[in-house]
Chains A and B, each alone.
Chain A
Amino acid sequence: MTNDIFLKLKGIQKSFGGVHALKGVDLEIRKGEIHCLAGENGCGKSTLIKAISGVHEIDGGEIEIEGEKVEKMRPIDAINRGIQVIYQDFAVFPNLTVAENIALNGEVKNKARLVDWKEVHRTAEEAMNQVGAKLDPDIQLERLPVAGKQMVAICRAIINDAKLLILDEPTTALNEKEVENLWKVVRSLKEKGIAIMIVNHKLDEIYEIADRLTILRNGSFVSTGLISEYDTARFTKDMTGHDVTSAKYAPEESGEEIFRVEGLSLSGRFTDVSFSMNRGDILGITGLLGSGRGEIGEALFGITPVESGRIYLNGKEIQIKSVNDAIKNQIGYVPEDRLTQGLFMQRSILDNVVVSSIRKYFHGVKLDDNQMEEAADHWIKELSIATPSAKPAVRNLSGGNAQKVVISKWLNTDPRLFILNGPTVGVDIGAKSEIHQILRGLAQKGIGIIIISDDLPELLTNCNKIIIMRDGRIGEVTDNTIERIEL
């Protein structure tokens, strides 16, 4: 049995300036298995990967590779022993071609002086055949979608005789179809005997792909086992340390309409979209990428306004021709890519909270600092944002807390309608359920909540009304009593 084990970690410890990032972690990866490493943000997953790949030197514990103890692991040792990591940013070159991206690292390692373009193409071709990727070798990488860049990163990793491929949150930026394709590639690599470790915290994806699972929490090892040994309850309990309720959202029927749209159309994006929501409703909009699901949100917020159709908020018809119109009508919007669109990462929590409602704090020409601080502190408490004060820059916060800052920014504008596109993308399971509770509370207070998401379980639990978009039209409208959504 022990021959099957490729990598074995025993009691790995690592601390940074007195903070224990890893407090004795065990991990066992077998040859040709797909192993998921799960845990909430900040549990030590990234540190563990960096320990395995030799980027961080460990303070204690043992690393064994193929039964042989490794005394000191440097990045080059890890690579020579067949360990390859694909980080979330892929570390690829957007300006170079597919072929060059795949072959370049090998050429650098061989200390080549001249580039043999025939050899570059041959290497790339071979790697793509092995992985089963079909890409034009001469296309520049910036022209590829994220999934394509990822394939290039995988091709590049395996040309160096990889025996263990580590993928750090590989599905974050992919749509459902691309994820499926990724799993196909991962499985075919597995059949070639390559061990694969995937860092992930989406339960449904883990069920689909993993053979075994290891869960970390706060830098400690919690549990490991076959995927069949885990059900949802155990998984969430091991991840968060407590039981997370996931009762379906079922508001009382109020019968009081707060928002209605009729015949919204935007050529090339969506056609004839009509729906309405009552006080207390949380409306979910889903569909495949390109089905118009995200575009509706952007249209209602005036980013790309609709060309025809009527919009009624609290019984009054309103015009939304620009973002300004939307803000005037007290509509809030959390974009899908909050890092680039929703937040000023370098600025403090306080600055981010008040940025959309800054007019409130002007007294003459002066800003009222005290009032702004009060507002920021209020939301930090209200949404339990984990921070000592409102001063730190947002980029120091975890994904979940950053998302709470975006939400408080809009809550501070007293919205009547609040649209969230992918509100829990990249947010770990504990913070996710907190955000869901917040949204439910807002809906109860009479704020219209629209969640746009491809996370179907999220919609089924939190929305009492779900719209499924297909090819720019409403395909189906349903409540959340159903078990599965077919896109």
Chain B
Amino acid sequence: MKEKNKYAFLTSTQMILVYVIIAFSLVVGFRQPAFFSPATIITICRTGIFTMCFALCEMVVILSGGIDVSFPAIGCVAMYVPMYIVNRVYKIDSAFFAFAVAIIIGLLFGLLNGFLVSVLELPPLIATLATSSVASGGVVTLLGTREFTNLPSSLQAIYNTNLITYTAPDSGFTYPLNVLILVPVVAALLVSWVLRKTMLGRGLYAIGGDKNAARVAGFNVRKLQFIAYVFSGVFTGIAAMIYNILMHSATTSALMGDEMITIAACVIGGVRITGGHGTVLGTFLGVLLITLVQNNLNMLGIPTSWQRFVVGIVILLGTILTSWQAKRSMNAGRA
């Protein structure tokens, strides 16, 4: 029995991801010894910050049996509107204000998604597609398409706050790690705890596994679906503001198209698209692998024009692995 458990652990999706990540790192490091440097870790962390935030949102929604393709649009609105207000309407130099507006916008669209999916019982893909269109079309119509590249000093202060700064000994380049990395870290720990240790978390798994069984068991299915979408909306708002701070750019289209890579990161990490399966750790590994591949292909001498193609292949292989694991798991029941 113990042997079997050990085997199951060593061939689990998460462990296979770990092997792939190690193998990829070794290959890159072999070609470019510079890869093995603290600088790489800091770069990965920096680019992974918002991908991880968005992946957490997506994971919670997919777990509950839904899907959310509206977060890029919601995120764009959530960072564009406060920056528009600050720049064009009334100069309020307050980080609290910026985040509050972003969160409220995320909350409102999250409520809309929750209403469409749980009360009107629309298919989540269609509902969130509609929300996406409403959000991004609405903001463009009402507020136009500008780009705000100046941060108010309060946000700039956050940008300037670094957790650690690594200076490469030979080149003298500095690699700062922004304090905002703590947001996805804390959020990941929190979400992980909620999913494993609270009835709210188990309820999300339950409705993702079988809505009807969850209803019979006494779970409030609608409420749980609502919570998933509202969490996604609110946290998307926060993540979008982080994007704005780190990138010094708020536009109405900056995040558009991110939904695919985010969903892919989740699925590679073992989140089953049909709901009910997935962990924070798996999602983290999925994000790590995709970020790693995106950032380091040039180190392997693969031209930039090929990067999308290669990322696509990684996604494809990752998804095949997950679905193969799922099939293996179900077939075990028949034997």
List the interface of chain A (C-beta within 8 A of B).
Answer: 89-96, 100, 104-105, 107-109, 112-115, 140, 142-145, 148
Contact = CB atoms under 8 A, between A and B. Distances in A.
Given A95-B277, A105-B218, A144-B333, 6 more contacts: A93-B205, A93-B210, A93-B214, A96-B209, A114-B199, A115-B199
B206 A96 contact: yes
Contact of B202 (A89, A104, A143, A144): A104
B329 interface: yes
A104 B209 contact: no
B133 interface: no
Contacts of A114: 197-199
A93 B213 contact: yes
Contacts of A91: 210, 212-213, 216-217
A145 B202 contact: no
B330 interface: yes
Classify chain B: how many residues form its interface, as a range.
Answer: 20 to 34
B276 A108 contact: no
B330 A113 contact: no
B158 to A, nearest CB: 34
B218 A89 contact: no
Nearest to A139: B332
A109 B218 contact: yes
A144 B206 CA distance: 17
A93 B210 CA distance: 6
Given A95-B277, A108-B218, A114-B199, A145 B334 contact: yes
B333 A143 contact: yes
B191 to A, nearest CB: 15
Contacts of A144: 333
Given A93-B205, A142-B330, A107 B199 contact: yes
- Chain B residues touching A, majority SS: helix
A298 B329 CA distance: 24
B335 to A, nearest CB: 8
B231 interface: no
A39 B219 CA distance: 34
B208 interface: yes
A143 B219 CA distance: 24
Given A94-B276, A95-B208, A143-B332, A113 B198 contact: yes
A402 B212 CA distance: 25
Contacts of A90: 213
Given A91-B213, A93-B214, A95-B205, A108 B199 contact: yes
Nearest to A116: B197
A140 B329 contact: yes
A89 B209 contact: no
A145 B334 CA distance: 6
Contact of B330 (A104, A105, A108, A143): A143
A104 B217 contact: yes
Nearest to B208: A95
Interface string B253-270: 000000000000000000
A148 B206 CA distance: 19
A105 B217 CA distance: 5
29 contacts: A91-B216, A91-B217, A92-B210, A92-B213, A93-B209, A94-B210, A94-B276, A95-B272, A96-B202, A96-B206, A96-B209, A104-B206, A105-B217, A107-B202, A112-B199, A113-B198, A113-B199, A114-B197, A114-B198, A115-B196, A115-B197, A115-B201, A115-B202, A140-B329, A142-B330, A142-B333, A143-B329, A143-B332, A145-B334
A145 B330 CA distance: 9
Contacts of B276: 93-96
A97 to B, nearest CB: 10
Contacts of A109: 218
Contacts of B198: 113-115
Closest 10 CB pairs of A and B: A95-B276, A95-B209, A93-B209, A91-B213, A108-B218, A143-B332, A105-B217, A91-B216, A143-B333, A144-B333
Contacts of A108: 199, 203, 217-219
Given A108-B199, A115-B197, A93 B332 contact: no
A437 to B, nearest CB: 34
A96 B205 contact: yes
Interface in B86-141: none
Contacts of B217: 91, 104-105, 108
B329 A142 contact: yes
Contacts of A142: 329-330, 333
Most buried by A among B200, B219, B332: B332
